[in-house]
Chains A and B, each alone.
Chain A
Amino acid sequence: GESVGLHLPTLSVQEGDNSIINCAYSNSASDYFIWYKQESGKGPQFIIDIRSNMDKRQGQRVTVLLNKTVKHLSLQIAATQPGDSAVYFCAFKGSNYQLIWGAGTKLIIKP
């Protein structure tokens, strides 16, 4: 079945440094990818998305990179702040038009 892998359960980053969170996806035909942020006990919040006709997209302090050759997706957070502490999920549009979710990476900010 379709899946998301290649994730680290936890990532610790020094405050002020850049964070990079990675995902690998299984469906080479997928044309849509998305990142969500989930704070403890809350619902996920949309961060940024990207379509397959792009390889990079930037938002406010965040950048998503898509490498379709190796089916790899990454989220870069610039100048990580304490408020960035959360679990980050990547997801892609599967063959049945549903979102396929990864297991998430918990980002821990060290002071």
Chain B
Amino acid sequence: DGGITQSPKYLFRKEGQNVTLSCEQNLNHDAMYWYRQDPGQGLRLIYYSQIVNDFQKGDIAEGYSVSREKKESFPLTVTSAQKNPTAFYLCASSISRGSWETQYFGPGTWLLVL
């Protein structure tokens, strides 16, 4: 099956700890995105990557970091600098670097702070 996978579904972080959320796609899409969703809210863009080895900050990049070493993978690290990380994190991809339309989403990861 083609699609986007995110793991784990639930992730727990201790204070002061960095955690990495996985996102993998086998759709052969060039562009990938990370969004944060707080309960009852819309999506806010954290980072996006239009092509391998390139990524750009979104609206709320502070306290997060990403890498794009492979076309299929776009992991997100939530660092200890992110003071309020509890949220639902969504990864998405779109077919080409200029194609902001029709983003395909993964199932999401819940990040909870202990």
Chain A interface residues toward B at CB < 8 A: 4, 9, 32, 34, 41-46, 49, 89, 93, 97-99, 101-104
The listed residue (B100, B102, B107, B108) touching A97 by CB distance below 8 A is B100
A104 to B37, CA, bound (A): 11
Known: A42-B108, A43-B108. A102 touches B42 (CB 8 A): yes
Is B103 a contact of A99 with CB atoms below 8 Å?
A: yes
- A46/B107 contact (C-beta < 8 A), A89-B42, A103-B42 known: no
Chain B residue nearest to A101 in the complex (CB):
B42
Residue of A nearest to B88 (CB): A41
Interface size in chain B (residues, C-beta < 8 A)? 20
Known: A43-B92, A43-B108, A44-B90. 10 other contacts (CB 8 A): A9-B40, A43-B4, A43-B90, A43-B105, A49-B102, A93-B101, A98-B48, A99-B100, A101-B42, A104-B42
Do residues B102 and A34 form an inter-chain contact, with CB atoms below 8 A?
A: yes
For the residues of B in contact with A, the DSSP-based class is loop
Known: A41-B108, A98-B48, A98-B58. A46 touches B42 (CB 8 A): no
Closest residue of chain B to A99 (Cβ to Cβ) is B100
The 7 tightest CB contacts between A and B, nearest first, are A43-B105, A101-B42, A101-B43, A103-B42, A44-B105, A43-B108, A43-B107
Interchain CB contact (< 8 A) of A34 among B44, B45, B101: B101
List of A residues within 8 angstroms of B45 by Cβ = 98-99
For residue B75, CB closer than 8 A to chain A, the reply is: no
Asked if B106 is at the interface (CB within 8 A of a chain A CB), the reply is yes
User: Which residue of chain B lies nearest to A41 when distances are taken between CB atoms in the complex?
Assistant: B108
